[in-house]
Copies of this chain bind each other. A is one copy, B any other.
């Protein structure tokens, strides 16, 4: 069955089965709508990435075709995004013709790393990024992107950097050079964009009585609202075209020449020259170029994170993450041969795609055709797009990436989780988004380790039915591993010194696993306690735990099923019982305290027991 084999390799073939004219029309409309969004966004994101505008369009057509062949979620559209553009911009500022070379190389590397993640099933790494860290990261990115666009909005010359602090310093240092024309156009564009965005949610059509007119009106509103980016860019370009016949009197800074025509199909370049000190050309060889640092790993992980989030939002849990990863990876690898910068799924364009009624991923092909047509035919006109308009497009897209709404529930139910989020946000702004993300994940992982290292211990002094006192220690964690064993040991010695000598019972009902270090520690504890005539029992311990303890320490830990078994076992240790009756005063059966990993509590405990 060659067709079946082919459809394993290219699952997109199944979309052609029973692909009706109606499907084609729906996909065509959605494809064109997405195309009208990606054209201005692509030009803007390329500028954000520090590349010439045409690279944004080069990045916008490969993903659609590859995803139509390999992807499985009809709404996903793959192309340039603000986040990846920002991360790319860290490597494109080295001068001369190195920018595109680095951007394209990063695209190739991302694709290869994503493929490796798919093969090694490392897509699960995105599970390590918690929601507060995601929110901190995207919010910081939005702030950085927003401020980087201030220059364009204010008509200040100079590139847009990815460094928040330097950008702010440069903007505020040059406020006297703000150009009135750019500022006005920018502010008007932002206002129009936000109004048009809002328009979709206001049900104006309801007020019209005629059903036909109502349909036409609501349809027009939807088209205008969805195509608002294209509309603003078109209007402002026409304005600029009419004003700027002579270069001198032009009130706006324009995008400038956009190279016309399709990108050449070529291997990514592995050598380039950068601008050295004293304006010299410094050649870079393969090894120097390959040193893209943490971006080589973090950019693909961010790309995968974005893609997973989108396909989860639109496709539910039924999608194969590996297949999505392969589609993303090949979009980047193939893209690198068409001069693309790194791409991933775009949440905003996927939402547009969904709202436009897309039926199959083939819709992406129509977007790609539109982009290719624009590159061939429209490129000469793109030079009239004012930079302020593009900045307005970006700013009014990213301000909705700043998420305040999780702060309230986080504050109310889990304040400690604000910390990793805050670390990510602040460090992303202060040092860089990659470092910020790593530190946020590090803080989350540190908490996981802390939980494993400092399990809550419940300590009770109880009596068996025969009146024998014992100390019950119950760790509230599913395992006792190396970082926790010293904590448990010192908890037990503290309990003994506080509550007097009595047999110690470690309740393992919640503990499913010990490791070697913990088992050895239990062995030392057992011997230490035996020296002062205190026996140590395990209660409700799973068989596996007995095995690992025996193998690691050569000690047969006495094990009981319920506290009353103690009476029988202790009868076999008469010396101990005698010793015990002398030293241990009887207390009522009650829970004494809970040892939490909390310095204040502990110090109270120590004080009260002193």
> What is A's interface to B at a CB cutoff of 8 Å?
121, 124, 127-132, 316-318, 406, 409-410, 412-414, 417, 444-445, 448-449, 451-453, 455-456, 476-479, 481-487, 489-490, 493, 510, 512-513, 515-517, 519-520, 525, 528, 547-548, 551-552, 599
Contact = CB atoms under 8 A, between A and B. Distances in A.
Contact of A452 (B413, B448, B487): B448
Contacts of A444: 482
| Listed residue (A479, A485, A490) with the most chain B CB atoms within 10 angstroms of its CB | A479
Given A452-B452, A489-B317, A493-B318, A417 B130 contact: no
A414 B482 contact: no
Contact of A448 (B413, B448, B455, B516): B448
Given A127-B487, A409-B516, A516-B131, A510 B478 contact: yes
Count this chain's copies in the assembly: 2
Contacts of A482: 127-131, 444
A318 B516 CA distance: 23
A490 B317 contact: yes
Nearest to A509: B510
Contact of A413 (B128, B129, B317, B547): B547
Contacts of A445: 445, 449
B476 A451 contact: no
Contact of A449 (B128, B493, B515): B128
A393 to B, nearest CB: 30
B409 A128 contact: no
Given A451-B479, A493-B317, A516 B417 contact: yes
A528 B317 CA distance: 9
Contacts of A406: 516
| Listed residue (A481, A516, A517, A599) with the most chain B CB atoms within 10 angstroms of its CB | A516
A519 B412 CA distance: 13
A486 B128 CA distance: 10
Nearest to A483: B127
B130 A515 contact: yes
A476 B476 CA distance: 13
Contacts of A551: 409, 412-413
A531 to B, nearest CB: 8
Given A317-B490, A317-B493, A512-B476, A131 B414 contact: no
A555 to B, nearest CB: 12
Contacts of A128: 449, 453, 482-483
B317 A548 contact: no
A59 B449 CA distance: 37
Contacts of A453: 124, 127-128
B478 A478 contact: yes
A486 B126 CA distance: 10
Nearest to A553: B409
B515 A414 contact: yes
A49 B435 CA distance: 35
22 contacts: A121-B599, A127-B484, A128-B449, A130-B482, A130-B516, A316-B528, A406-B516, A409-B516, A413-B551, A414-B516, A448-B448, A448-B449, A448-B452, A448-B483, A451-B452, A452-B452, A455-B478, A456-B512, A476-B478, A476-B512, A478-B510, A510-B510
